[in-house]
Amino acid sequence: MKNIKTADTENNPAWNLLFFAWILATSGTLISLFFSEIVQLPVCVLCWYQRISLYPLVIMLPLALFPFDVSIIRYAMPLVVLGWIVALFHVLVIAEIIPEAAQPCTLGIPCSETHFTLFGFLNIPVMSLIAFSLLGLLLVFAKKSFIKKTKLN
């Protein structure tokens, strides 16, 4: 008898979605390390909090793939939501919507500066917000796909 949480990986869309979430988290981690360690861009406080939310996913998600365990979503989703909230706050700080008095990065490296911009509008906090949004969507769709598949079986 198969364990409902560890279904086979063949033709399993939930497994594929978690795999893509792992690829995205790994890419985000490597890109953030590239910018800070190779390009030597300074890392502000809000960037560190986003990294704290992202880096554990690189280890957690593949552990749930072999053998497949959909319950990882329960543990990964709080990190994704926390990272998304911090990334959104960071985007609002850069857009000057958050007043300077409420900004956490007044000393040291300011969170309101952008050191890298792509296409004139895509800065690192926006990329982080997009990545956390995609991670959240992938995890939600993986959960829904798994529930749908188990109801059919």
Instruction: Check if the beta carbon of residue 139 is closer than 8 Å to that of residue 80.
Output: yes
DSSP β-ladder status, 117-118 and 122-123: antiparallel
Does 146 or 130 have the greater pLDDT score?
Answer: 130
State the pLDDT confidence band at 4, using cuts at 50, 70 and 90.
very low
Mean pLDDT of 52-64: 96
Residue-wise pLDDT for 71-105, tens only, equals: 999 999 999 999 999 999 999 998 888 887 777 77
The pTM score is 0.86
Average the pLDDT over each of 35-49, 111-125, 137-151 and give the range with the smallest value. 111-125
Does 110 or 35 have the greater pLDDT score?
Answer: 35
Q: CA 88, CA 125: separation in Å to the nearest integer?
A: 8
For residue 137, is pLDDT > 90?
yes
The number of helices, as runs of H, and strands, as runs of E, in the chain is 4, 2
For residue 2, is pLDDT > 50?
no
Q: Residue with structure tokens 């004139």?
A: 120
Instruction: Check if the beta carbon of residue 58 is closer than 8 Å to that of residue 31.
Output: no
Note the pLDDT of residue 37. 93
Q: CA 135, CA 27: separation in Å to the nearest integer?
A: 12
